[in-house]
Amino acid sequence: MEGRVITLVCLAFVFDFGLSMEFPGLSEPMPMDMDGDAARCFIPKVELKALKPGINTHRSSSSRSQSSTFQQMKFEVWYDESVTNSSISDFIMNITRETVDLISRQLQVKEESQDIIFDRQCQTGSYVNNGTVVNCTCADNVTTCGTATLPEHHLLPCSTCKRYENGTEYDCVPEPGGPAERGVSDVHYVLYVTSVPCPNGVIGFANVCYLDPRLKRPNTGFINICPGAETFLEPEDIQQLVQHEIYHAIGILPGLFALFRDENGDPLTPLGDDGFPTELSSEGFYQWSDRVARTQTLDWDIRGGQIERNVTIMVTPNLVREAREYYGCDTIEGVELEDDYGRFPSGSALSHFEARLMPTESMGPGFAKGRKFSRFTLAFLEDTGWYKANYDLADPFTWGRDLGCGFVNKSCKWWMDTQRNRGLSLSPYCEKPRELLCGVEGRPAFCSNIKLDEPLPEQYQYFDSLPGFNETELASVGGWRMFQDHCPVIFPRYRLQTRDYRRQTCDKDINECDSDPCNNGATCSDIITGYFCTCTAEYEGRHCDKSKTICSTSDQCAKNEVCKDGLCSCGHGRIRTEEGCQIPRRFDMWFQITEVNGSLAIYPGTFKSIDEIIRGELEYAIFHRLSRWEIFVDSVFSVEIKSFNGSLGVGIEIVLDAGSTPDDVMIYDLMTDDVYFAAQDLSSGYTSYTVDVNSIVVQDLDECDEMEYSACSVYSTCNNTIGSYQCSCLSGFGDQGDPTDGQGTVCIDIDECSNSSLNECSLFARCTNTVGGYNCVCLSGYVDSTGSSGRLCADINECISQPCFNGGTCRNLKDRFTCECSPGYEGQNCEIDQNECISAELNDCSPVAACTNEPGTFSCACPPEYTDISPTGAGPGRVCENGSMTFIVIISMVVGVMFVLFVALLLLSQAKKTKF
């Protein structure tokens, strides 16, 4: 890879020093970034090489550790003559030495230290046709790393070599003279420090020159401290500048993103055979994979609407972990990088954190007083895969902490509108131009909002209205720093010259109640970063601008409201928000105060008579701490003063907004952390309360035990959670709640019998609905032999009990049976003897016979005057014959025959006469 040249990102550490405007209260002019001559990025041109293993780089001697584990980072620092000849050389060297020592303790390297020697840069030498190459002579040689000239003893000696036709050198003979010992021993990184003139507005820059051949870790680079920086930067600021540039030189460069590796040392971006990525981006960098950085599209609120905005985010694991924990948002996908406003194609873009989100983080693009090298910077370096970071050595950093997903993924307009609607401070943003303020990290500051000379691009217009500006002017109103996307931030300054002592020291709160923000006779209570309103009985809402409805019953009130004292109010422990009556989240806190202004706190003693004063001061002091975070958006109330082992005990109920972060672990951490809230000194105005931090107890309020705070339905179970509670409708009840009401707040009995899919009754059972359930009873003819209460109903075989009498045959049918009776019997069970004699259709007796009913049959008997002539087998009495009637019949038959014969003879005689 020797000699490969790539374009590296600008590493300029920009100090905004462009056009200025007078600003009352500031000792220096207010810089602006809007003009074309303002601070631009200086791009140092470098040739990035991988050192030759075995020639330029070799492992340390056997006297050093050969372990493959992490080693504390070792530097070799060389100061160019531009530093050694400077009037402040000792100052630069001392600060650099201290900074290198700090970074050596912050970082461990995954490789052993090395001995390094550098190739010479040939300016005049040339190859000749006879196979011999003559390298440039020592007198002609100038080898550089950026703005630094490498010393002779860091370089290979000048040599005359022979070269085969394939280019391989051999028989290299060093030229005589030069240092006896060459190279740098036992180091991980060679840092060259220069102080050469810089472009306007730039106070420092850096770059990397060489990479380790195995893991492609930068092992050689330079930083440049621009002459004159010390005239307007204090020593601590110069130290931050040096540290910033070294971090660039060792890895925080977009030109190196494609070389980053995972925790196992495997490349995050596919590499070619030469160990480098095969593709270049449009910016001239090696193209990295989506495992390193990618584009994210944000829903971006602007003046009059919303647009989509594409940003670049680092998605490496340690940065994502830090961002989610820091901002209190588990859905953060990555850490946004500076986009440089899109004005300068080779500016600070991608090599710094986005200044809108981290204006005081030291790896941001512009200088600001009180910058911090936070855990984000160390996570960035650890995500290169070359280092292991000691996070205990990170600076404390609070700008934007715990402000949630919207603060990170939305525009500053969204944040300001949301806070304004809640009646809360816009911090860390602001809107009143040039207003003197206290910064979020406790330094004197001012509001960077101004009217610029020309309209801002549409995506940076954030105000729909603003007192003092007309509709046309609003397009030009915004923060003066382009790096911060022209968001109006509360920006820290060096010095504030003002007679307002509270603004110089930031130890007194500004009373926002002076602007009378509460309506309809409400009482305004000031807190350290805002205010809250205590409404009269007839009104509700954060500004007491919502009139309660007159009512006689709760049916006349809106959802989640109850009729109380003739007015509709939020019920069941709910609070009024813009979305209606919502369930807040509540915590109880308890701690002990041991001293007040250095004197022992004794209760009751002298304190009992001034409980209300103490209560008010403590409420104020607690707001001072808690109201810095979005999650603590409602007032602390019910501050109670009690005796605690003879000292002062404080009990507090804390109410959080229903929409606050669900990360309850973070809430506990905030309220018990000795840095962010539970510091030993809890001050209020001129009173200092000493807190026994070990006595702090934060516990959840169990709303399920105090039903006035629970909105659960009577047909639900209440399950207490940290900060809130959950309702679950009982089995057999449908949940009619919505996201506003919460689940389990409206539970309606389900008629399971209305649809067979809602119950488990057998198809042969009857379903009966009950409150919260149902019953199943098997139909007649079916039985639940399994004891499943009508869930499994089987047909009963009634024939087993032989229900048919008198020889009847039983036929089992579905859910019933039938009897086929023997002749002579009838009835459901063939239990009735049939009286065949009652109808001639039921017996075959002779009409004159006597019919006698008998069990299951009948009998026939001819009268005495009749003769029984029934056919054989037909049974008696079927045919009965009378004797006198027989004689008459015979005489009649004889007469009949004779008459027929007479007629026949007569007809025959007549026929003969006619013939003759």
Q: Which residues participate in catalysis according to the annotation?
A: 245
The amino acid at residue 466 is: L
Residues 6 or more apart whose Cβ sits within 8 Å of residue 16: 31, 32, 33, 38, 39, 201, 366, 367, 481
| Cβ 182 vs Cβ 137: under 8 Å | no
CB-facing half-sphere around the CA of 540: CA atoms within 13 A: 17
The stretches of 337-472 forming alpha helices (DSSP H) are 375-382, 404-409, 412-422
Is 244 annotated among the ligand-binding residues? yes
CA distances, 530 to each of 424, 425, 540 (Å) = 5, 5, 18
Q: Look at residues 163, 79, 173 and name the one whose alpha carbon lies nearest to residue 129.
A: 163
Amino acid at 233: L
Give the Cα separation of 377 and 426 in Å (integer). 27
Instruction: For residue 47, count other CB atoms closer than 10 A to its CB.
Output: 15
Strand partners, 820: 809
Helix orientation angle between 375-382 and 317-327, rounded to the nearest 10 degrees: 160
**Cα separations in angstroms, 626 against 337, 451, 529, 557, 703:** 29, 33, 10, 34, 22
Q: How far is CA 797 from CA 383, 498, 778, 900, in A?
A: 78, 104, 15, 73
Structure tokens at 324: 């989610």
- Distance of alpha carbon 338 from alpha carbon 313, whole angstroms: 9
Q: Which of 772, 790, 769 is nearest to 780 (CA)?
A: 790
| Residue entry with tokens 């020797």 | 2
Write out the two tokens for 903: 């007629």
CA angle centred on 595, ends 594 and 598, rounded to 5°: 155
Q: How many CB atoms lie within 10 A of CB 152?
A: 16
Contact 39, 201 (CB under 8 A): yes
Q: What is the per-residue DSSP string for 507-552?
A: -S---GGGG----TTPEEEEETTEEEEE--TTEESTTS-EEPPB-S
- Whats the size of the chain, residue-wise? 916
- Tokens 């996570």 identify what position? 379
Report the alpha-carbon distance of residue 859 to residue 863 in Å, rounded: 13
Secondary structure, 3-state, 611-623: HHHHHHHHHHHHH
572 assigned to a ligand binding site: no
- Say which residue the tokens 């009913």 belong to: 853
Whether residue 646 contacts residue 579, with contact meaning beta carbons closer than 8 Å, is answered with no
How far is the C-alpha of 371 from the C-alpha of 353, rounded, in Å?
A: 13
Count Cβ neighbours within 10 Å for each residue of 758-771 and write b for 16 or more, e otherwise: bbbbbebbebebee
Residue numbers belonging to the annotated binding site for Zn(2+): 244, 248, 352
Residue numbers belonging to the annotated binding site: 244, 248, 352
